[in-house]
Amino acid sequence: MEYEDMYYTATNLEGVNDAYTKLMLKERKVLDAVNSVVQQKDLEGMVREGHGTIMDEPLSKLMRDTGATLIGVWEDLQEGKALEEVFRSSRRIYLGVALVSLAILLLLLSKSDGR
């Protein structure tokens, strides 16, 4: 009888599996929480280092970068550089901002004409 109880206890893995599963679920939750904190810190670090989105920039920096981009494009065009180099991807967002600003300025000027 005593050996049968020991054998049953040794071969009954239901409780072990449940405890292991619960432990793994808790570990997964902790790992997910730690990963989200690390991702948030990485994102904050990227924004501080200047790799964030354009929406995170102050307006003064956006205008300064747009002006610098327009000057750089003008100088590159005067030097006769290839258009792929002049309009490289890092400049495109600022060129778009400049074109939208120009469009808004022209719209306001046409509406204030009074005719």
17 and 59 co-located in one domain: no
37 and 57 co-located in one domain: no
pLDDT tens digits, 40-76: 777 666 555 555 677 777 888 889 989 999 999 999 9
Looking at residue 52, what DSSP letter applies? Answer: S
Report the predicted TM-score, pTM, of the whole model to 2 decimal places. Answer: 0.49
16 and 40 co-located in one domain: yes
57 and 96 co-located in one domain: yes
Tell the residue number behind the tokens 């054998």, with chain if given.
7
67 and 103 co-located in one domain: yes
Instruction: Decide: 93 and 112 in contact? Cβ < 8 Å.
Output: no
CA trace torsion 53, 55, 60, 65 (10° rounding): 40
69 and 89 co-located in one domain: yes
58 and 107 co-located in one domain: yes
Indicate the number of domains in the chain. 2
Domain ranges, residue 10: 2-46
Q: What is the CA radius of gyration of the chain?
A: 31
* Residue 106: predicted pLDDT: 93
